[in-house]
Structures are given as structure tokens and as C-alpha cells.
Amino acid sequence: MIDRPVTGQGNKALLEISGITKSFDHTRVVDNISFDIRPGEIFGLIGPNGAGKTTTIRMVMDIIKPDTGQVKVLGEILSEATKDNIGYLPEERGLYKKLTVMQSLLYIASLKGVEEGRARQRAGELLEHVGMAAHRNKKVEELSRGMSQLIQFLTTIIHEPRLMIMDEPFANLDPVNTELLKEMLFELRGQGRSVILSTHRMNEVEELCDRIFMINKGRGVLYGELKEIKSRYRRNSVFLDYQGELGELKGVATRREQPGAAELILEDGTTPGQILEQLVRRGVTINRYEVSTPPLHDIFLQVVGESHE
């Protein structure tokens, strides 16, 4: 157990962002963005470079103030006290090089209001959990890049925050540590904590996120359940693994076939269910029947492309 479960928060939004806007030098970097984060979810904040993700995160973290709009954490306007409920892993990692692993963890924990005895105990448990207990007295400058990133991750969760904001948390990690981190994120979600994941890696978003918010040129362009968004952008086609003869199918515009497999592109107005019905009637043995949804990567490119037009 890397954290204690969160209790007594119901389904109230952990974070509410309402109409925040930020301009630098007369350029609107974030333009009227609103979304909320619910307890126990991994939320993807995605968008191309320069879209306004980092500025949004900095406003959530109270590092910079929005020009208009507001940010509420646990129902309260963001203040010094509410900051202790948030953990932040910036994209570019930074720790004091001359401090030891333990000193780094304790200093950040103390700034987040954790009492020293508890911080020491938590730090010990977390180091044990990620297999770095032996390195507790090493200076940060002696660690490998991946190791110091793990430590940075631990500084983000040492104070048991309800909300964590992680900017590209898997960059520089080897596959073993990537899996370890993913497991920890799921564990945190299971305890009712929430994670905002800002990343360019769409496969990670698909694997981890429950809901997403996509930002492009400072504006929100996609927001909602990942499944719902994918279904909204699905192509009207099905994938099929089968045995037997397909024959002519009503409502299929084109088909791409390989021995024992096919992708059927449906005509407008034809549903996957109607095709399945025809196949069953013909006695075709179906090993796989899957409504095709485009990978998030394609949706991302499509949405960014549309907003460029």
C-alpha cells in the first residue's frame, strides 16, 4: 500500500476550473478553459506543443494567476492551504543535487505540511516500494536519470495528496520502472485519489486515462470520457476474424480482405449489428467481431488538423 485510501469526499469534484484565461504580451495562451476532475480518476490533459497545457497546469498549481476565471480545489478557491492537497511532477525534473535522497524527500514533504516523523516513515515505505531503500543516503547527483526521476515521483506523492499533476511522468524511464509507475498510478486511483496526466504519448493516455481534455491553441477542443470520445470518432467499419464464406453483404461499401480476416467499411445508415445479423444467418463462424474505433493518436491528429484549417 503506497497510500491510505481517501474517505469522506463523495463524488464532489476535486478540482473545478471555470473559464480561466491567461495572456502574455497580448497573446492569449489559455482561452476560457473549463473542466473538472472527479475523485478516483486518471485524467489526460493532452494537446500539441505550445497548446497551453503547461500554462494551465501552472495556474492550477497557483504558480501563476489566471487573468480571469477561477480554480477551485475541494470546493475552495485555491489558497496556500489547499496547495498541500496537490502533488506536482513538472516535465523537467529538478532536485537539489547536493542533498541526499532522504533529505530531498523530507524537505519537499515538510513544505507540503507533513510532520517530520510521518514524512520519515512515508519516505522509508515509498523507497522500499520502488526498490530504492538502499540509495536513501546517496546524493541526488550520484543517481542515474531514471532513478532521480523515480525520487521526483515520490516527492510528488509523499504528502498523500488528493490530486496529482504529472507532466510526462514516464519520460526517461525504462520499461520496468514505467510499469512500476503505472501500477502505482492505478493504486492511487483505487484509493480515490486523482491524477492529471499531461503527455504526448497517446498510447499511455489510452491505457491509463478515464477522461481527457484536449487543448489546442489555448482552447479546449475535446473533453469527456475516453470511451465516448473514441466512439464519437469511430470509423463506420468493423474488424472480423472468421471461418467460412462471407459472400455479398448488404450495407457494406467496401471490404479489405485477408485469408480468415476482413475489415468491412459500412455504408451510411448501416449499423454493425445489421451486418452481424447477416453473418449469423449465413452460418459464418465468427472468431472476432470488433467495431473499429480509431486510435487516440489519429483523433489527436484529426482534431489538431481541423483546428488548423
Partner 1 sequence: MNKTYLIFRHEFVNTVKRTGFIIMTLVVPLVALLGIGIYHTVSGISKPVAEAEKVGYVDKAGGFDQFTSQGKITLVLFNNPDDANQALVRKEIKEYFVIPPDYISSGVVSRYTMQKELYPPPAVMNAINTFLLKNLLAGEVPAATAARIEAPLNLVTVTLTASGEVAPEQGGFGSFVFPGIFSLLLVLAIIFSSTYLLQGLGEEKENRLIEILLSSVSTGQLLTGKVLGIGTAGLVQVVVWVGSAPLLLNLASSSIGGFLSTVQLPAGFLILAIIYFILGYLLFAVISASIGAVSSSSREGQQLITIFTLPAVSPLWFISLLMMFPNNPVWIGLTIFPLTAPVAVMIRLGVTDVPAWQLAASIATLVVSIIAVLMITVRVFRIYLLMYGKRPGLGKVLVMAFKG
Instruction: Among 20, 101, 108, 279, indicate the residue that binds partner 1 (CB under 8 A).
Output: 108
At its nearest, how many Å lie between partner 1 and the CB of residue 271? Answer: 49
Quick one: 65 or 282, whose CB is closer to partner 1? 65
- Of residues 149 through 168, those in contact with partner 1 by CB under 8 A are 155
Minimal distance, residue 34 CB to partner 1, in Å: 21
Cα radius of gyration (the chain):
23
Closer to partner 1 by CB, 55 or 216: give it: 55
Of 53 and 58, the one with the shorter C-beta distance to partner 1 is 58
Cβ proximity to partner 1, 78 vs 229, nearer residue: 78
CB of 91 to partner 1, least distance (A): 8
**Residue 186 lies near partner 1 (rule: CB under 8 A):** no
- Identified binder of partner 1 from the candidate list 98, 145, 282, 288, rule CB under 8 A: 98
Of 44-73, binders to partner 1 (CB under 8 A) are: 58, 61-65
Size of the site for partner 1 (CB under 8 A): 28
For residues 14, 16, 20, 22, the Cα torsion angle rounded to the nearest 10 degrees is: 0
CA distances (Å), 77 to each of 10, 22, 209, in order?
19, 17, 26
Question: DSSP labels for 192-229?
Answer: T-EEEEE-S-HHHHHHH-SEEEEEETTEEEEEEEHHHH
Output 207-212 pairs: Cβ under 8 A, ≥24 positions apart: 207/182, 208/42, 208/44, 208/182, 209/42, 209/43, 209/44, 210/41, 210/42, 210/43, 211/38, 211/41, 211/43, 211/44, 212/43, 212/44, 212/45, 212/46, 212/296
Which residues of the shown chain bind partner 1 in the complex (CB under 8 A)?
58, 61-65, 80, 83-84, 86, 88, 90-99, 107-108, 110-113, 155
